[in-house]
Amino acid sequence: MDQYQPLPKRPRRLRCGATLRDAVADVSIKHDDLILPLFVTDKEDPQPVESMPGVSQLPVKAAIKAIGKLTDVGLRQFILFGVTSPEKKDPTGSFALSADAPVNQTLAGVRNMGHDVTMIADLCFCEYTDHGHCGVLLPDDPRTVVDNDQTLDQLRSAATCLAQAGADVVAPSGMMDGQIQAIRGALDEASFTQVCILAYSIKYASSLYDPFRDAGQGGMQFSDRKGYQMDFRRSREWQTELQLDIEQGADMVMVKPAVTYLDIIHQVRQACHLPVVAYHVSGEYAMLHAAAQQGWLDLKYAALETTYAIKRAGADLIVTYFAKELSEWIP
Domain spans of the chain?
A: 29-329
Among the options 89, 256, 311, 324, which is catalytic? 256
Exactly one of 89, 203, 311, 324 is catalytic; name it: 203
**Residues near 161 by beta carbon (within 8 Å), at least 6 away in sequence:** 96, 97, 98, 99, 101, 104
* Cβ neighbours of 80 (radius 10 Å): 26
Nearest of 141, 218, 133 to residue 176 by alpha carbon: 133
Per-residue pLDDT at 272? 95
The three-state secondary structure class of 144 is coil
**Which segments of the chain have a pLDDT < 50?**
220
Closest to 265 measured CA to CA, from 211, 179, 202:
202
Burial class from Cβ neighbours inside 10 Å (0-12, 13-18, 19+) for residue 258 reads buried
Provide the pLDDT for residue 135: 72
Do you find a cis peptide bond into 257, omega within 30 degrees of 0? yes
- Residue 46: is it exposed, middle or buried by C-beta count within 10 angstroms (0-12/13-18/19+)? middle
Centre a 10 Å sphere on the Cβ of residue 304 and count the other Cβ atoms it contains. 17
pLDDT of 197: 98
**Quick one: pLDDT at residue 86?**
80
- pLDDT attached to residue 288: 97
| pTM for the predicted model, two decimal places | 0.91
Active site residue 203: yes
Q: Is 43 a catalytic residue?
A: no
| pLDDT given at position 143 | 56
* CATH 3.20.20.70 matches 29-329: yes
Q: How far apart are CA 260 and CA 251, in angstroms?
A: 24
Residue 174 has what pLDDT? 80
